Amino acid sequence: MIAGLLFAGSLSAREGANYDEAKVGTFELPDPLQPAGGAPVRSQADWLSHGRPATLALFEQHVFGKTPGGPMKLDFETLSVRKDALAGLATRRVIRIRLADVPAWTGIEMLVYTPNAATAPVPAFVGLNFGGNHTVSPETDIPLTTKSGSAANPARGLAASRWPLELILKRGYGLATAYCGDVEPDHPAGWRDGLRGALTGPGKTTWGEGEWGALGAWAWGLSRMLDGLETLPEVDARHCAVIGHSRLGKTALWAGAQDQRFALVVSNNSGEGGAALKYRDFGETPAIITSSFPYWFTATYLRYGPAPRSCPVDQHQLLALVAPRLLYVASATDDRWADPQGEFLAAKSAGAVYALFGKTGVAVDTQPPPEHPVGDSIGYHLRTGKHDITAYDWKQYLDFADRDWGGGGGGVELHVATS
């Protein structure tokens, strides 16, 4: 049932999508080292001083909208603690995150698991879920998510295969997740009952060009989850990965682009508006996605439906905003809707910015065959199968994080008992 939520509203449009590489045509991608309207980037200093800010501003203006700034007073309330979760494997917490000065927003309930075997703070993966925290775990005492107007599903453990808790915890990592509808329900009028409506008040009726959409609101929620993790001594908040699948993969990329505290950014089958190049006419396109889900983006993005190549940025530049931090992009063979080749090419093209920092990106010129992960500072794999996030995908993300965070390259040692 959750899988059905991922494509709601776009099935008829999918029938007209192009799946023939010969029909993609030729195009020239924007140069990530020469943002539109900005000065050339020739060094790390150039990227940090003007290249990165200019690129970020372009995505704010043309794709996602600008996230409101200003001071925030956050309240963190621990609702429950269970130290023998998952048959003693983990400690489980539920933490409510709220804005102290915005009582109209009911807040996020963040579910956090940390391994009991750890003897020092552990890195953690941070991601939103589609159907409620009770769908992530088979445990029967996690409160049901029943928010009105949401897509929450009451079936416990329905999405457990997408969150392999035992694998993650035994590898020495924590996990923090929350229902995306806690931030904002996923439908055109969801903002009225979500964060954006609470921040703007009753006078707001529409969202204009340059104003944030649902993806921006969800990305904001991921950063607030990281704020919450920073209060937990058992979590090494300096080494947290933001992760997302499908539309929440787009969200994870935008969160990681804006919030440089995330040390690793993981995109799983994020497709159009995420890791896939919009300049390619393959699978889902800006025209299709904005006809089905216009509220995910800023209103400006709707302009580019008829002419994607008139947009001054493409998604390789979004990926480049993660540099020099770790980045991982994953595709699936049967998920042509998300354009696996376009996802790989975006990851490859982002390497130009990583090179400024003396880092290597995907380290190959052509898309690898299925089940052959590649990459250095930018990881990539193509998995056999459908649009999903699986234990295979998670194993690659854990291996990738281990390489830099696990007793070596990143200077982080995981003090976790193994058996």
Catalytic amino acids? 246, 387
**Gap between the terminal Cα atoms of the chain:** 36
> What is the torsional sign of CA 79, 83, 84, 86?
positive
**Collapsed DSSP state (helix, strand, coil) of residue 406:** coil
Do you know the residue count of the chain?
419
**Collapsed DSSP state (helix, strand, coil) of residue 39:** coil
Rounded CA-CA distance 251/253 in Å is 5
- Take residue 239 and report the two structure tokens written for it: 């080494």
- Take residue 334 and report the two structure tokens written for it: 């049967």
Residue 31: count of CB within 10 angstroms of its CB = 14
CA dihedral 173→265→270→231, nearest 10 degrees, is 60
- Take residue 256 and report the two structure tokens written for it: 């990681």
Cα 292 from chain centroid (whole Å): 20
Contact 275, 343 (CB under 8 A): yes
Residue 77: count of CB within 10 angstroms of its CB = 11
**Collapsed DSSP state (helix, strand, coil) of residue 38:** coil
Query: Nearest Cα to 256, choosing from 248, 268, 264?
Result: 264
Q: Which helix (H) or strand (E) holds 339?
A: none
Residue 234 φ then ψ, to 5°: -80, -5
Q: Which helix (H) or strand (E) holds 405?
A: helix 391-405
